[in-house]
Amino acid sequence: MLLPILLLSAAGFTVLTTEFVIVGLLPAIARDLEVTIPQAGLLVTLFAFTVAMFGPFLTAYFARFERRKLFITILIMFGLANTVAALAPNIWVMAIARLIPALGLPVFWALASETAVDIVGPDFAGRAIAKIGFGIVCATVFGIPVGTLISDAFGWRSAFAILAVIAFAKALLLFVYLPKTSLHQHQVSFASQFKILRSPLMLGHVLLSILVFSGMFTAYTYLADILERLAGFNGTVVGWCLMGFGAVGLIGNSLGGRAVDRHPLMASVMFCAFMIPGMVALVPNINSSLGLAAAMGIWGVTQAALFLVSHVRLMKAAPEAPAFAASLNIAGANLGIGLGAIIGGRVIDSAGLGFVGFAAAAFILLSIFLAMVLMVLKPRDVCATA
The pLDDT score that the predictor gives to residue 33 is 93
* pLDDT per residue as tens digits for the range 270-286: 999 999 999 999 999 99
Predicted confidence band of residue 181 (pLDDT cuts 50, 70, 90) = low
Q: Which range has the worst mean pLDDT, 118-132, 188-202, 275-289, 291-305? A: 118-132
The pLDDT score that the predictor gives to residue 8 is 82
Give yes or no for a contact between 144 and 21, defined as CB atoms under 8 angstroms apart.
yes
Q: Residues with Cβ < 8 Å from 383, sequence gap 6 or more?
A: none
**Average of per-residue pLDDT across 126-135:** 70
Q: Distance between CA 296 and CA 185 in Å, rounded? A: 44
- Judge: domain 1-178, CATH 1.20.1250.20: yes
The pLDDT score that the predictor gives to residue 4 is 73
The pLDDT score that the predictor gives to residue 193 is 67
% of the chain residues with pLDDT over 70: 88
**Cβ neighbours of 33 (radius 10 Å):** 18
What residue segments make up the domains of the chain, in order of their start? 1-178, 195-385
* pLDDT per residue as tens digits for the range 313-362: 888 888 777 777 878 888 888 899 889 989 998 999 899 989 999 999 99
The pLDDT score that the predictor gives to residue 373 is 93
Residue 6 has pLDDT above 50, yes or no: yes
The pLDDT score that the predictor gives to residue 385 is 38
Between 20 and 364, name the one with better pLDDT: 364
Q: Distance between CA 94 and CA 115 in Å, rounded? A: 32
- Judge: domain 195-385, CATH 1.20.1250.20: yes
Q: Is it true that 1-178 and 195-385 share their CATH fold?
A: yes
